């Protein structure tokens, strides 16, 4: 928000509605609008009955040492430093705009490389996972591979904080209750994204997601990345894994240069907000 001014109340605000595997976003091209909405407008837009509805909102801003800068907001108006599927959606939009095969996107987490993966798929390097407790952040120095929480979850940072549980059957978890209890756990001063993971094989998992500030989502790029990092660190999977989420399939590949995520995107419609 330091590069743009908030738009005047009631100003017409062009937006795009996009999704990655049902993880849906409102995307605002702040390079063209000359501003971005304030928190009250973001919350109004997020309402699925009286507004547009989204899991996250992404604002595209001019980039310094990158092709563009991205700022992400949860549906409650809070800021998130990372949003993997929204990054892929914006990357697809900017790749089509420029005709380039790859580009660099600056986020509050890192400068991310994005590329056209062919067959309509988009690949983004989400950067290195955060494996230091203070940077996740956690409230205290503790074993991140075995948190002292019932269910023995793993803590990981992907520009946002994650708590990953490994279970026998993800469908048996009542995520509506399980998610918010753990999102607000005192070990996570900035709240947690909560994942429940079922191991299918060393190369495949099933994932359900409770996203902080949003709730249950059909997919999440950063949660998929964090889950594969956690599973690989526990020795439960390899580092390249097929991730089955309710909205479809992502491929996560934890390489030496970061965690790469590949999957489809969709541009649903364009509109103008006049709230």
Residue ranges of the annotated binding site are 23, 56, 74, 84-85, 160, 193, 211-212, 221-222
Kind of pairing between the strands at 121-125 and 111-118: antiparallel
Task: Assess contact for 46 and 76: CB atoms under 8 A.
Answer: yes
What SS3 class is residue 141?
Answer: coil
The 10 Å Cβ neighbour count of residue 17 is 18
Quick check: is 225 catalytic? no
Would you give the distance in Å from CA 191 to the centre of its chain? 14
Task: Choose among 48, 122, 30: nearest CA to 85.
Answer: 122
Task: Categorise residue 242: left if φ over 0, alpha if ψ from -120 to 50, beta otherwise.
Answer: beta
Q: Which helix (H) or strand (E) holds 6?
A: strand 5-6
Question: How many angstroms separate the CA atoms of 177 and 160, rounded?
Answer: 21
**Which uninterrupted H or E stretch holds 8?**
none
Task: Write the DSSP symbol of residue 171.
Answer: G
Using alpha carbons, select from 156, 203, 153, 155 the residue that is nearest to residue 178: 153
Output the known binding site for substrate: 23, 56, 74, 84-85, 160, 193, 211-212, 221-222
222 near 162, Cβ under 8 Å?
Answer: yes
Residues 143 and 193 sit within 8 Å (Cβ to Cβ):
no
Angle at 265 between CA 33 and CA 105, to 5 degrees: 55
The catalytic residue among 83, 89, 223, 225 is 83
Give catalytic residue positions.
83
């Amino acid at each position: 928000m330091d590069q743009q001014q908030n738009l005047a109340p009631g100003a017409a605000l062009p937006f795009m509605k996009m999704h990655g595997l049902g993880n849906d976003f409102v995307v605002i091209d702040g390079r063209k609008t000359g501003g971005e909405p304030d928190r009250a407008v973001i919350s109004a837009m997020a309402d699925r009955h009286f507004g547009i509805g989204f899991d996250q909102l992404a604002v595209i801003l001019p980039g310094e040492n990158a092709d563009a800068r991205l700022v992400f907001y949860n549906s409650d108006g809070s800021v998130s430093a990372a949003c993997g599927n929204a990054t892929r959606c914006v990357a697809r939009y900017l790749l089509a705009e420029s005709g380039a095969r790859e580009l660099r996107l600056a986020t509050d987490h890192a400068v991310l490389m994005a590329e056209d993966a062919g067959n309509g798929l988009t690949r983004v390097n989400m950067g290195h996972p955060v494996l230091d407790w203070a940077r996740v952040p956690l409230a205290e120095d503790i074993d991140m591979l075995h948190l002292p929480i019932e269910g023995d979850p793993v803590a990981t940072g992907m520009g946002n904080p994650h708590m990953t549980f490994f279970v026998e059957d993800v469908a048996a978890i009542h995520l509506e209750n399980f998610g918010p209890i753990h999102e607000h756990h005192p070990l996570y001063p900035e709240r947690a994204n909560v994942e429940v993971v079922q191991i299918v094989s060393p190369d495949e998992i099933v994932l359900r997601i409770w996203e902080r500030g949003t709730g249950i989502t059909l997919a999440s790029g950063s949660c998929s990345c964090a889950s594969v990092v956690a599973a690989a660190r526990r020795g439960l999977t390899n580092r390249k894994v097929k991730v089955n989420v309710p909205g479809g399939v992502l491929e996560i590949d934890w390489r030496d240069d970061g965690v790469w995520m590949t999957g489809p995107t969709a541009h649903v419609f364009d509109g103008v907000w006049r709230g």
